[in-house]
A and B are shown apart, each in its own frame.
Chain A
Amino acid sequence: MKMTAFKGVLAVAGIQLITATMALATDITVWCWAPEFNGAAMNEAIARYTAANPDTKITVVDFAKGDLETKLQTQLASGTTEGLPDIVLIEDYGAQKYLLSFPGAFEPLTDKIDYSQFAKYKVELATVEGQTYSLPFDSGVTGLFYRSDLLEQAGYKADALKDITWEELSAIGDKVKEVTGKPLLSVDMNDAGAIRIMLQSAGSWYFNADGTANIKDNPVFKAALTSWVGMLKNQNLYKSVSGWGDYTGAFNNGDVAGVFTGVWMTGGIKGNNMSGKWAVAPIPKLAGVEGAGHASNLGGSSWYVLSSAPSKDAAIDFLQKVWASDVDFYQKILVGQGAFAAYLPARDGEAYSAADAYFGGQSVWKDFSDWQAAIPGVNYGIFTNEADAAVTAQLPGLIDGGDIDAAIEAIDAQIAQQIQ
């Protein structure tokens, strides 16, 4: 009898112990894409945070970017919050779309984060009606990554790639193919990234500041489309690929000699065993366009906390403690992943001025910093996906010799229809 009572006490104590640990342990779930980049940076942040907060368990769930966006949108539309993560990564082009479409779904962080410490354009694109929702992460400042060994074979030193036009790049591609047998680029015809890079390099975009389409009478758009189609007509210039895996595989396997893209590709490029064989040049510029330069942006994204998240407070604390204050953390992910932070104090760290042996001793981060400062600001609006679809729909016809003005008319009509 006595024994039973004792057992009972033990059992109750045991249950209390379990509930106590459950209350202490916090689970945070993070959704992101690109494990070698966003995932790796997030894991570094988690390691730093959990060292100080061992009771917090943070799990990163990795998706393909398109899948993540579809899943997030589907779930937000369904109205059920179960299964949503605590923190989600959203690309800058889509930020306004989510914030406007799903009011109340994301947690405003205006009072929690000191936004004066972050790049202004990143803060603005996550602000709706005076509330800012993001923890701004990385910039997508663009560069032309190339295999310095292959281009040297073809007779091009670093200086030969500076201050060129897209047409000149196409001619360089001919020579590279002739000498090395490899195309310069890999191109996925369904990706309109090149058009976006060109547009922003001249301070233009698919849309005007008021959200109306900026296609038909936009000389920059015409120049960008003409240049890109001209490049696509040059079969020597690129290897045609389908999908992200093929696209990155082409230069990571050494099938093609380069890629022009956002700085975030650095992590992937440095993941290969080709130290000293890579270099970075500024992107070419649009010929004959006033205000066109060699600096642009592609992608870049930020972290958002969901209002419905069970571990919302812990998630915000995590973002505050690491993502909004740890300068050393940002040095680490810069060198490791090429995560070019929107957190301004990080720019004063030593890694931002160091030379990188993988890029033949080039001070790539200083170069990217300089280009970053020169990126013209544009308002991305909320219909980037729609505009991309309208542009890529016309590309095959244009490559077969279609009329550029007719295509622009068609793109304009399609976008006008989609943005109502």
Chain B
Amino acid sequence: MQTLTRRENLTGWAFTAPALALLGLFMIYPILWSLYMSFMTGKGMNFKFGGFANVERLTKDPIFLHALGNTLTFLAIQVPIMIILALVFAVALNNPRLRGRAVLRTAIFLPCVTSLVVYSVLFKSMFAEDGVVNDALLFLHIISDPIPWMNDPFWAKVLIILAITWRWTGYNMVFYLAALQNIDPSIYEAARIDGVPARARFFKITIPMLRHVILFTTVLSTIGTLQLFDEVNNITASQGQGGRPADATLTLSLYIYNLTFRFMPSFGYAATISWVIVILVGLLSWAQFRLAREK
């Protein structure tokens, strides 16, 4: 009996070993290496041990603080908007009396199967100063002058928020739709019989029943926004350099990219900032779990 378990164990390990080896080589080793790198200073490929010099540099770096501010701004504004929109769409599309549900559901989900770069390029052309969006707004007399989407710090931020909301709302909606299917219809029926108005049904039944999914999507969206890169490197880019104008859409990930591939390469410092993102993700996820914990 004992030997059988041992043999089964061995077989188990043998089966998982290739996957573990790959995971170790391509996940764990780079992560440990980046931690090691974050203690290195020097220009380009000339490394030397710098101790906590990079952490010290962080605290005095105005661009880092600026990028952090931008990233948190995107997070604080975009994630709530997207979560609420996704909830509204999900509840509306869950209504069996709504016609053309399948088409609408597909339409809202479709953006998130497009490639990040492809949609970024599309947005860039649509929101150009003489692009279709401005043309349409001008034609409808909503604005009298074209909006400088790409050349004004404020509008550039708005554009990025619009873009990622368009791209990811459908993705979150699908989670809510799936969760809504799991709510027993008899609960709503009982509520209706008791005369609970629709509004209260939404806030008192739907939201509490979805709380775990809402938490899950919020944590995922937080992580995604902290890593925001493709959009700001493509939509608000000019001459091959993202984060424009005037670094108004510079995010932490883009700053890491600049430090590594565009500026005089500071690989160690870039690794340090990537660990800042890791710590932020950890902290924010922990806070969100705490907030959502049942009392």
Contacts and interface: CB of A to CB of B under 8 A. Distances in A.
Contacts of A100: 43-44, 46
- A interface, by DSSP: helix, strand, loop or mixed? helix
Interface string A267-292: 00000000000000000000000000
A215 B261 CA distance: 25
Contacts of B248: 396
A420 B240 contact: no
Secondary structure call for the B interface: loop
Contacts of B136: none
A189 B236 CA distance: 12
Contact of B262 (A73, A103, A188, A413): A73
A101 B240 contact: no
A36 interface: no
A73 B62 contact: no
Interface string A95-110: 0010011110000000
A190 B244 contact: yes
Given A101-B44, A242-B151, A397-B246, A188 B239 contact: yes
Contacts, number: 112
Interface in A388-420: 389, 392-397, 410, 413-414, 417-420
A151 to B, nearest CB: 25
B292 to A, nearest CB: 38
B165 interface: no
Contact of A242 (B44, B150, B262, B263): B150
Nearest to B238: A190
B148 interface: yes
A102 B66 CA distance: 29
A52 B144 CA distance: 62
Nearest to A397: B246
Contacts of B264: 97, 101, 382-383, 385-386, 419
Interface string B47-71: 0000000000100111100100000
A393 B238 contact: no
Contact of B148 (A74, A97, A240): A240
Nearest to B42: A101
Contacts of B150: 242
Interface string A352-396: 000000000000000000000000000000110110010011111
Interface in B137-164: 148, 150-153
A77 B239 contact: no
Contacts of B61: 417
Interface in B215-264: 237-241, 244-248, 258, 260-264
A417 B153 contact: no
Contact of B247 (A74, A76, A393, A413): A393
A259 B183 CA distance: 65
B111 interface: no
B262 A70 contact: yes
A138 interface: no
Which size bracket describes the interface of B in this complex?
A: 35 or more
A417 B61 CA distance: 6
A188 B244 CA distance: 11
A389 to B, nearest CB: 7
Contacts of A188: 238-239
- Interface size range on A against B: 35 or more
Nearest to B64: A417
Interface in B251-295: 258, 260-265, 267
Contacts of B245: 189-190, 392, 396
A410 to B, nearest CB: 7
Contact of B241 (A66, A102, A103, A410): A66
Contact of A393 (B44, B237, B246): B246
B128 interface: yes
B127 to A, nearest CB: 10
B263 A386 contact: yes
B135 interface: no
Contact of B60 (A66, A190, A395, A417): A417
A222 B261 CA distance: 30
Contacts of A73: 260-262, 265
B38 to A, nearest CB: 16
A242 B66 CA distance: 23
A64 interface: yes
Contacts of A393: 66, 246-247
A245 to B, nearest CB: 10
B60 A77 contact: no
A244 interface: yes
B247 A389 contact: yes
A77 B62 contact: no
A67 B129 CA distance: 23
A268 to B, nearest CB: 15
Contacts of A242: 128-129, 150-151, 238, 244
A242 B237 CA distance: 8
Contacts of A70: 240, 261-262
Instruction: Give 9 closest A-B pairs by Cβ, nearest first.
Output: A66-B240, A101-B44, A190-B238, A393-B247, A393-B246, A242-B150, A396-B246, A190-B244, A70-B261
Given A190-B239, A243-B237, 15 more contacts: A64-B239, A66-B262, A73-B260, A74-B260, A77-B265, A77-B267, A101-B46, A188-B238, A190-B241, A190-B246, A242-B129, A389-B247, A392-B247, A396-B248, A414-B62
29 contacts: A66-B239, A67-B240, A73-B262, A74-B261, A77-B261, A101-B44, A101-B45, A101-B264, A103-B45, A189-B245, A189-B246, A242-B129, A242-B151, A243-B237, A243-B239, A382-B43, A385-B262, A386-B264, A389-B247, A389-B263, A392-B245, A393-B66, A395-B246, A397-B246, A413-B62, A414-B62, A417-B61, A417-B62, A418-B63
